[in-house]
Amino acid sequence: MKHFSEKKGSALIASFLIAILVGSIAGLYLESARQEYKMAHRARMNMEAINVAEVGAEDALFAITTDDWTGWDRRSSWLFENDQQHASWVER
């Protein structure tokens, strides 16, 4: 019967602890990278929405000042109402 040294067992435990530590650090890094990607994507979508809104406002101002409504039509009978309690879409 062989007698195992306590050093071999302690080396195995130490390697498992190091592997757990490295895995935890890698997981935290990946989660951080995922969160950063989500924030960058939201910022990009926000900027795109602002650009689209500005173009729409410029087109509307141009149509008002030149009284040229070519290409404009009423596509919906819904209005946006904002009162003190809540904001909602209502049909005319």
Could you report the per-residue pLDDT of 7-56, keeping only the tens digit for each? 667 888 889 999 999 999 999 999 999 999 999 999 999 999 999 889 88
> Is 42 part of a structural domain of the chain?
yes
User: Is residue 10 classed as helix, strand or coil in its secondary structure?
Assistant: helix
> Is 71 part of a structural domain of the chain?
yes
> Is 1 part of a structural domain of the chain?
no
CA dist 28 and 13 (Å) reads: 23
> Is 57 part of a structural domain of the chain?
yes
Query: 12 is in which domain, residue-wise?
Result: 7-91
In total, how many domains does the chain have?
Answer: 1
CA dist 60 and 69 (Å) reads: 9
> Is 56 part of a structural domain of the chain?
yes
> Is 38 part of a structural domain of the chain?
yes
Q: pTM of the entire structure?
A: 0.54
> Is 2 part of a structural domain of the chain?
no
- The confidence band for 75, taking pLDDT boundaries of 50, 70 and 90, is low
